[in-house]
Structure 1
Amino acid sequence: MSDLWHPENEPEPIKITWLGWILVLLRGGALLVLLLGGLMLLLALRLAERPIYGLHRPWTPWITQMVCRAGLAIFGIRHRIHGERMNLRGAIVANHTTWLDIFALNARKRIYFVSKSEVAGWPGIGWLARATGTVFITRDRKHAKQQQDVFESRLLAGHKLLFFPEGTSTDGMRVLPFKSTLFQAFFTEDLRDHLYVQPVSVVYRAPKGRDARFYGWWGDMEFGPHMLQTLAAPRQGSVDVHYHRPLKVSDFSDRKALAAACETAVRAGMPPERQIL
């Protein structure tokens, strides 16, 4: 993570009971089999898909969806969808709470994440990200033109790119101000008049009796312990994904206006107590 965000209060210490460790083994084993099996099938299909369709991916995104849907079932996290998922050409923007967002947002919609370049080198996760078509970006201005070209080619190919304008993950109790940098990619001559951006609010509710921030992953929290804690929870919570009205890029004067409108929509989709800055 970059530009790490820290709340006023630190998270509860991670404690795993003997029952929790049994759940870690059962759920973790099932999740590992699911991810490896899905990855093998995806790579096998991609061998035929790439030479026939190029950037277009008519088959493999369905595998990603099924794996993410099954993954949430293995965790035991209830997953609910609200609103209409956009069928127009364009991108998705959402608030960012945790690595579980990958499952929650992929489970019901064919999307491709935009992620910082460092993720490509993360053990396991980087491999999965590359295989599923993630777009990796860097903040180095020397690569700005190259990244813009990648964005355009992917969007013109009909890919729904998803990124997190907050720039970091949080405790899920608020929406941070949206950064407008990546919105500039939609304002090129070839894209502006044809693209829409759909704001999405992702709302996690903790297991009964746990810290309301249970699923949040922020600051210096390590991925491994956080995942173990999630796998070990005897009771799980839920995640609600709210799809808002798509916004046409050409209706906005610039990237800052579009980013502000998206931020307003995402914040409005959160529970009242989470709509504060």
Structure 2
Amino acid sequence: MALLDDVASDLSKRAQPGTARFNFTIHAVIIRYFLGDDWFKEHLLPDAREDSFLRPDFENQDVDPRFSVLTLELAENLLNLQTVQGFRTCLDHMAVRQMQSGLCELQIGHVLRSRGVPFRYVEEGEATTVDLVLQTQSGVEGLGEIKCKYEEAEYSNKTIQRALATARKQIGKGNDGVVFVKLPSAWLEVIPQGVGDPPQIVLPAEIVATAKDQMRQTSRIKKVIFYVFHHVFDPVRGLGVTHATMEMTNSRLTDESPWRAELLSGTGTWTTMQELSRRWT
């Protein structure tokens, strides 16, 4: 995007690179480029729609850390995923579907790309109703379905059961599938560590048991991968963010199955907002 270079060059004369003003202006240019001015005004300005998940909250302070993190993540994902096949489908979903579901598709794409998993988004008109087509480390192809539990949702074990049961039907008989489930931060156990150390994120035993039970009933779902985008403030590190994943494998798989191997390497790392901002200087 040559336009972005021109904007950054001009903006650097009026705002110090790395500052909140500089970063947000660059993020705004990217978001408006992909999603349009009307979408930007409707969702990302202080007078945006009250029901917009991305609407900033400056009522009690001059900055909104949550807003800063989400706009940075949205801009980076739009910029970095634009070459992935089917990316345009994600933009269409951002415009016509619930905001959190559209963001979730991009966030899962970020996780797969950053962990080296080949994938593409399913495009309109294809026979399947899942969201992704992906590959194992050995090159075996499978289907990926994304389920998003909204951040404001109250925990219910039945919602997990329904999500996995629906994904099973979407994957279809005779197919191999992975189900990604985005969970609200409030549903997980976030265990504080020492000052300056990132917290530990733990998947509650009830959710683990539900996923195991659902996989025991099918051979279609090879893996269930729970995902959370979490941010927390530490007095030493400042604002920290993570794309945390918890991968579970179907116990019915044989030792020879290519799906027994770990699909995602690791569980995610913590990055500070300061470190993220440096990428835009």
Q: TM-score, normalised by structure 2?
A: 0.32
The answer to which structure has the higher strand fraction is: 2
The answer to which structure has the higher helix fraction is: 1
Q: Which structure: larger Rg?
A: 2
Larger RCO, structures 1/2 (Cα 8 Å, 6+ apart): 1
